[in-house]
Amino acid sequence: MLAGAEVDNVFVDAMRRLVAEAVHAEKEKRGFIRVPFFREVVLRDTMGQIVQGDTFCRDIAPNGIGVLHSQPLDDEMFSVSVEAEDGQLNFSGRCVWTEPAGHGKRS
């Protein structure tokens, strides 16, 4: 976590502005609140082949999982594997939207 060397008003105001933007964007896009959840995941295409590139979960909600990936994931079905405390979870899903997330990653 990055914090201001001296937690001054400029730092606090900047963080409040970013949090407000994030909350506003969250309310516009989704019907469920997402929870931060950073973990590596494996995506497989409909042929069972692992989708190349690093893939990480960034957040979860009852109706979806947000992932970061190094390439666009078109509107297609995937199987998803993620490690949980009590073992691996496997489920299917479809990419419903994608956008640049910086540093060559897609969200």
pLDDT of the residue at 39: 93
pLDDT per residue as tens digits for the range 91-106: 998 888 777 777 666 6
Average pLDDT, the chain: 80
pLDDT of the residue at 70: 82
* 70: Cα within 13 Å, side-chain hemisphere: 7
pLDDT of the residue at 107: 65
Range in 42-46, 51-55, 89-93, 95-99 the model is least confident about: 95-99
Cα 89 to Cα 81: distance, rounded to the nearest angstrom: 6
Kindly state the percentage of the chain with pLDDT values over 70: 81
Instruction: State the first-to-last Cα distance of the chain, in angstroms, to the nearest integer.
Output: 21
Q: With bands split at pLDDT 50, 70 and 90, how would you rate the model's confidence at 29? A: low
Is pLDDT above 60 for 1?
A: no
Cα 58 to Cα 41: distance, rounded to the nearest angstrom: 10
| CA 30 to each of CA 7, 9, 58, 60: distance values in angstroms, whole numbers, following the listed order | 32, 31, 15, 12
Phi, psi of 3 (to 5 degrees): -135, 155
